[in-house]
Amino acid sequence: MDYKFTSRSVEDTMELAENIESEKFPGMVICLDGDLGSGKTVFVKGFAKSLGMNENITSPTFNIVKEYDSGELPLNHIDAYRIDDADQTIGFDDYFSSNAVTIVEWSELIKDKLPDERLDIKFKVINEDTRVLILKPYGQKYEDVVNYVI
């Protein structure tokens, strides 16, 4: 089942991330998709802030993966935008099976590598301030998280 959340500001997007973070669990995987500037990295910033991280969270476009461990749980931030299909050196299974929370931007580009259980969030730009986020949980734990926060 899909769930819809309308964000009318950066603060709304961060608040959703903070609410999802409040239901976090080790090994949680969140997959974010949407156009450039749709709010994916804003979501990650809100999630990281709620974990208690003070680092400057930026999109890891050229690094592909940034690992943060200064919060309640470690956070792996993956940006799949520049991943080549032939690139087998990332070790996605290691990230997805770790005790960290892993958030993947541009996850549709690595769909065949994603775990079966995860939370997908699609960002749709409506106008300069408004975004519609479609949340699709895969697995009971993720269904419970979405039911709690939406």
Q: What mean pLDDT comes out for the span 39-59? A: 91
Lowest mean pLDDT among 63-72, 86-95, 122-131: 86-95
Q: Among 39-48, 58-67, 89-98, 113-122, where is mean pLDDT lowest?
A: 58-67
- Is the whole model's pTM more than 0.85, yes or no? yes
Please return the burial class of 79, using the count of CB atoms within 10 Å of its CB with bins 0-12, 13-18 and 19+: buried
Asked if residue 82 has pLDDT above 50, the reply is yes
CA 37 centroid distance within chain: 15
- The confidence band for 62, taking pLDDT boundaries of 50, 70 and 90, is low
What pLDDT is recorded for position 86?
44
pLDDT of res. 87: 57
